Structure 1
Amino acid sequence: MKSCISTYSFERLYQDGGFTRFDAIDKTKEYGCQGVELVLNDETPDGSTPMEYAKALCAHAKEQGLEVPIYTTGANFFVKEPEKELERLCRHIDIAAECKIPLLRHDVAWGYYEGYTGIKSYKKVIEAVAPFVRQAAEYARERGLKTCSENHGYLLQDSARMLELFAAVDHPNYGFLCDMGNFTVVDEDCATAVSALSDY
C-alpha cells in the first residue's frame, strides 16, 4: 500500500495566497507520502490554463519523487443542461490523459437544482445522471484512464444508493472511490457499507 495526500487537504491554506498547491506537494513529500492527488477545477490561481497548471503541478510532483495517481474535479449532472457539464468534465479528462494520470474522480450530483419541479427522489436523480456518467466513463476509456465517484454529497452517499448508481451507469470503466468515514454521516455502519461496495 502507498500513502497519498490530496491537495484539497490544504484548502484552507490557499485562501490568503501565501500557500500554493506547489507548497502542498512539497508538504506531501515532507510527510513521507508516495503520491499526491490533484484536485483542480476550471479556474487557476495564476491565470494559466487548467492544462498548463496541471502539467506544472505534475512536473513539480515528479521532481519531488511523487506519483500522481488520481485527478479530481467537481461535477454535477443534475442540472438543466447536463450536456454542457459533460463537455466540461471531458476537458478535465483530457487534462488527466495528457498528464498520464490513470484515474479521474468526479462528483455526480449535489442536490435538486433551482427550478426543479419533478418528483424529489434520489431514484429520479440517478435516472437523470447515469447516462452522462456512463458517457464520461466511456470517453475516459478511449483516453486511457478510468473514472470513479466517491460516496459523498448526502443525496448519493449511503451504500444502497451508490449501488443503484453503479447499476444504472453499468460501465466497466467506472468505479468507486471509498471514503469509509462518509458513511457515518448518513448513519450507516462503515464495515457493512464498505463490504457492500467492495466489488466496485
Structure 2
Amino acid sequence: MKLGMSSYSFRPLLANGGLTIESMFDWMSNNGAEHLEIATFSFSQPGHEAEYDLVADAETLGRIRAETARTGIPISGICMGAKFAFVDDAERRAQIDQVKRHVELCNRLEVGFLRHDVVLWSQRLTSAADFEDNFSGIVDACQEIADFAAGQGVTTSVEDHGFFMNGSGRVQRLLHAVDRPNFKFTVDVGNFLCVDEDAVVATRASLTDASFVHLKDFYVRRTSPGPGWLETLGGQFIRGSVFGFGDLETRMILEAVVASGYDGFVSLEYEGAEPTLSGCETGLANIRRMLGDIRGA
C-alpha cells in the first residue's frame, strides 16, 4: 500500500492562507506522505466551492505539476462532486460533461483514478421509492462516464459519500448495475457511519471492489452533544477525529484492509477539530504504527 494524504485534509489551511500549495507539498515530503489525492474543491476560494472548476484553473494546475516534479510526490487520484439525479436534463448533461473533462485532466496528469459523486453529498435518502426512481438514471450516467474513461486509461469510482448513495449494499448494487471493469468503489472506512452502518463490517464487505481507500476516524454519539456535529441518517451524531482517537475500531479496519490483499493507494482524510497539521501528523503516525503491528503479528 502507498500511504498518502487527501488535499481535503489541508482545506482549512489552504482556505485561510496558512498553507500554500508549495508548503503543503513540503509538509508531505517532511512527513513521509507517498502521494497526494486531490479533492478538487480544496483549492477553491472560500464560499465558491460549488462552482469551482479545477480543469479551468491553469495556475493551480501548473503549481501542482511543479511541486510533484520538485518533491517526487505523485498525484494519485482526483475526487470531485457530481449530481445525476434531482436535477433537470440540461444540468444532468452539464454534470456528465464536467466529469468527462476531469477524466481528460486525469489523462493529462497521468493520474489513473477519478472518484465522482452521483448526487449532492447532502441529499438525504427519504424512501425506497426515492432511490428506485433515480437509480436507472444514475446507472446510465456512470456507464457513459466509465466507457469514456476506459479510452483515457482511467478507472472511475463512486464513494460511500453522504446520505443517498451510501451503504455497502447500495454501492455494490450500483457497481453491479453499471457493470464496467473500470468502475469501482472508493472505500471510505468512516463515511459508512453517515447511514449508520458498522464501519468494520461495511469495510470488510467492500474491499473486494476497491480501487482506492480513504482512512478517517469519527467520534460517535447517540444524542446531540451540541454544535459542530453531523447528524446521521438514523439520528446519531458524528464528528471527525484524529485517526486512532475516535470511536471507530481503527485497528480492526486496518486489519481488514491488510487481510483483503488490497495494495493500492490509501489516503488519510483528516477532518477533525484539532489543529490541522498536528491532526494529520498524528494520524499518519498512528496508521503506520498500527500497520507495523498488524504486519509484525
Deviations 1:63-115 (A, max 9, x none): 112121111222111121311111111111111110101111111112798xx
The one-letter amino acid paired with 1:56 is R
Tell me by how many angstroms 1:182 deviates. 1.3
* Contact in 2 for aligned 1:36/1:61 (Cα 8 Å): no
Residue matched to 2:206:
197
Q: In 1, distance between residues paired with 2:12 and 2:121? A: 24
- After superposition, residues 1-200 of structure 1 pair within 5 angstroms as 1-41=1-41, 49-51=56-58, 53-78=60-85, 79-80=87-88, 81-110=91-120, 121-200=130-209
- Structure 2 unaligned spans of 5+: 46-52, 210-297
The one-letter amino acid paired with 2:196 is D
Deviations 1:125-176 (A, max 9, x none): 2222111111111111101111112101111111111112112211111000
Distance 1:112 1:62, change over 3 A: closer
Q: In 2, distance between residues paired with 1:112 and 1:123? A: 18
Q: In 2, distance between residues paired with 1:182 and 1:112? A: 13
The one-letter amino acid paired with 1:17 is G
Distance 1:189 1:102, change over 3 A: same
* Contact in 1 for aligned 2:139/2:177 (Cα 8 Å): yes
Paired residue secondary structure (1:153):
coil
* Contact in 2 for aligned 1:55/1:99 (Cα 8 Å): no
Distance 1:4 1:36, change over 3 A: same
* Contact in 1 for aligned 2:146/2:183 (Cα 8 Å): yes
* Contact in 2 for aligned 1:5/1:33 (Cα 8 Å): yes
Paired residue secondary structure (2:146):
helix
Q: In 2, distance between residues paired with 1:71 and 1:61? A: 15
Residue matched to 1:116:
none
Q: In 2, distance between residues paired with 1:21 and 1:131? A: 36
Please report the RMSD computed on the Cα atoms of aligned residues, expressed in angstroms.
Answer: 2.6
Distance 1:120 1:3, change over 3 A: same
Greater share of strand residues, 1 or 2? 2
The one-letter amino acid paired with 2:116 is H
Paired residue secondary structure (1:70):
strand
